Amino acid sequence: MKLFYSNNSPYARKIRILIDEKKVSATLEKVVLADKNCTIHEYNPLAKVPTLIANDISIFDSPVIAEYVDQKSGLPYLIPSDFDKKILVKRWEAISDGLCDAAVAIMLEKRKPLSQQNTDLFEKQMRKIKLSLEWLNREMEGKEYYLENKFSYADIAAGCALGYVKLRYPEIDFENEYLSLYRLYELLMQRSSFQTTAPEPYL
C-alpha cells in the first residue's frame, strides 16, 4: 500500500502513526499540496491528504483509511470490533478531526489579506476549539488512555489534534487549562510513532 501525506496534516498524521504502530509495510509519499505539479487529484478527486492506494483502489478520507489499515494489518487492533466501544473511539475521532477542521479554517482565513478576513469566523471557530478541548479534557479525567486505559486509535486521533492545536496556538496553556489532555499528550509523545511524525513550525 502507498500513503500520500503532507508534512503537517493532522489527518494524515493519524494514518502515519497507525502504520508505524502496526508495523505495516507501506510506502509513504510526501506531497506538497500547494505545488502546482502535485498529482494527488489523480488519486483523489477531492485532492486531499491522506489518500491511500491499496489493492488498486484509492481510499479516503482518514477515518475510512484508518479502518482499512487497522483491519488489514491484523492484531493488535487499535479500533475495537465491539460495536459500542468502536462508537466511543469513532466519536473521539470525530471531535478530534473537528478540532483540526476549526484550526485549519482559522489558519486559511488568516492567510487572506487583512481587509478580506472575517472576524466572525475567528470567533466561531475559536469557540469550537475551546469547547472541544474542554469536552475532551473532561472525558480524559482520571484516565491514562481514553478507552479502558489501553492505547487505542482514540488516543492517536486526539494526540494528532492536540499536536496540531499546539502548533498553531502555542499560547494555549495546556498544563493549566487542560491538565488531563496535557498528560495524555506528554504520554503519547514518549512513543516513537508520535516523535517521528511531530508537526514542524512554519510548514
Ligand X SMILES: N[C@@H](CCC(=O)N[C@@H](CS)C(=O)NCC(=O)O)C(=O)O
Which of 11, 68, 174, 178 is close enough to bind ligand X by CB under 6 A?
A: 11
User: Interacting stretch for ligand X, rule CB under 6 A, among 5-13, 114-122, 132-140, 183-191?
Assistant: 5-13
Shortest Cβ distance from residue 200 to ligand X (Å)?
Answer: 14
Shortest Cβ distance from residue 15 to ligand X (Å)?
Answer: 8
In the DSSP assignment, the letter for residue 47 is -
Shortest Cβ distance from residue 159 to ligand X (Å)?
Answer: 15
Residues β-bridged to residue 28: 3
Which residue, 61, 78, 63, 80, is CA-closest to 24? 78
Which three three-digit cell numbers place residue 37? 505539479
**Ranges within 35-54 binding ligand X (CB under 6 A):** 47-50
Shortest Cβ distance from residue 51 to ligand X (Å)?
Answer: 8
With CB atoms as reference, the residue minimizing the distance to ligand X is 61
CB atoms within 10 A of CB 83: 8
User: Interacting stretch for ligand X, rule CB under 6 A, among 56-64, 116-124, 135-143, 170-178?
Assistant: 56-64
Q: Contact 98/50 with Cβ under 8 angstroms?
A: no
Which of 62, 96, 125, 137 is close enough to bind ligand X by CB under 6 A?
A: 62
Shortest Cβ distance from residue 194 to ligand X (Å)?
Answer: 17
Q: Return d(Cα 94, Cα 90) in angstroms, integer.
A: 6
The residue count for binding ligand X (CB under 6 A) is 12
Residues β-bridged to residue 30: 5
Residues β-bridged to residue 132: none
Helices and strands counted in the chain (H then E): 8, 4
Q: Which residues bind ligand X (CB under 6 A)?
A: 6, 9, 11, 33, 47-50, 60-62, 97
